[in-house]
Amino acid sequence: MNSLTGFKSANLIGTANQDGSTNLAIFSSVIHIGASPPLVGMISRPHSVPRHTLENILATKQFTINHVNSTIFKAAHQTSARYESQSEFDATGLTAEYLQGFKAPFVKEANIKIGLSLADIIDIKINNTKLIIGQIEWVALPENIVEMDGKLNIEMANSIAISGLNTYHQTEEMERLPYAKI
């Protein structure tokens, strides 16, 4: 079932609770919702078991999105283990990095990092999941991936893709096609 929709984005979601205790979780459901305002969404599974990511976002109204790249994908995957009290940063060796005024931690080893404020949470009643929507407040990325036309070459940043629950893929650009006209 998890493979049927095609390739998925690979992102680490960084959050903290009110006391500053951090959480880091890999998500493959992050999607573009709109450009103006800049909105991003992700699916949170049912709240019946502890979901630290959702709880922390509700508490602080902030989260970070950090692209998984080919050098950190094993540590990123390991964040999906059920750590109860230990932070996934400590458990996996990934490094928390902070931005002034932002409670949620970024992942130092990620090449593309996005800071977001909570914009909305929408209940998907049919299967008791939630669509968490964030507005982009801050972005960091390597200068050399910004192309002449302002587009980003995320392949050059070593961002990777996921299929199914646990298969990681590098990519190879085939072609950038022009805006389609009749």
Segment 6 to 65, residues that bind a copy of itself, using CB under 8 A = 6-11, 28-41, 43, 65
77-111: burial string, b at 16+ Cβ within 10 Å, e else: bbbeeebeeebbbeebebebbbeeebbbbbbebbb
Q: By CB under 8 A, is residue 173 in contact with a copy of itself?
A: yes
∠ CA 107-30-6 to the nearest 5 degrees?
Answer: 120
Applying CB under 8 A, which of residues 48, 85, 144, 177 lies at the interface with a copy of itself? 177
- 97-126: contacts with a copy of itself (CB under 8 A): 112, 114, 119-120, 122, 124-126
Q: What is the DSSP letter of 103?
A: -
Q: How near is the Cβ of 58 to a copy of itself at its closest, in Å?
A: 17
Phi, psi of 26 (to 5 degrees): -80, 135
Report the residue number, 18 or 85, with the smaller CB distance to a copy of itself.
Answer: 85
| Interaction residues for a copy of itself, span 80-99 (CB under 8 A) | 80-83, 91
Residue 170 binds a copy of itself (CB under 8 A): yes
